[in-house]
Amino acid sequence: MPEGGGLTAAAEALLPQSGVEHPVTAVLLNFRAYDTWLELGVILLGLLAIYAVGGIKRYPKQNEAGEDPLLRQVMLFFTPVLFLFGAFLLYFGKSGPGGAFQAGVLWGAIGILLHLGGKLVFSVIPRSLGQLLLTIGLGFFLSLGFLLLARGAAFFEYPPAYAGVLILIIETLAAISIATTLTAMFANLNQENKEETNESKPTN
């Protein structure tokens, strides 16, 4: 550990080899990529915990909220806005604040908004596709690490010539998985709350 100033100078000195232009992105996706991989795992474990305590519910095909004309207009306006802004943050992360987690939250908001509007994402896509989207970020990240080990490099030690491309692919897939996981969390919790509310209503 350098005396005074921590590792700031060391990180900035290695930026040309990191594949990105922002030191925070370089640390999170290159110098300390193992930590970021674990963070993706923690998010997925949160969803698995929800499944463990409540099980995977069968989502209804439609929702009465889909009849709300105001909510439909909100969906039509904000869905492309959230997608484009998330894509911008994903790409901008290499040179400024942004990246997979910010983009994933915005894209996850699209899934939640669609769910609120009666367009239940997980009722219209195959279950296998949903599982792939949930795990593709974590799985690709880990597979890349083992591939680098097999080629004689250290775990998550990207070749400098391809570091930028690899980081962009990792962040894109991670953002997709984060968005899918957040949507699934909301969908499961929302469905469980509805069932509990229906069970608590008095019957005549």
**What digits encode the pLDDT tens for the residues 7-55?**
778 888 888 888 888 888 888 888 888 899 999 999 999 998 888 887 5
Element (H, E) at 80: helix 69-92
This prediction has a pTM of 0.82
Mean pLDDT of 56-62: 52
The rounded mean pLDDT for the chain is 83
- C-beta of residue 178 within 8 angstroms of C-beta of residue 40: yes
Using a pLDDT cut of 90, give the percent of the chain over it.
34
Instruction: Report the C-alpha gap between 31 and 134 in whole angstroms.
Output: 25
Ramachandran bin of 164, using left for φ above 0, alpha for ψ from -120 to 50, beta for the remaining angles: alpha
Instruction: Report the C-alpha gap between 155 and 31 in whole angstroms.
Output: 10
pLDDT in tens, 88-99: 999 988 888 778
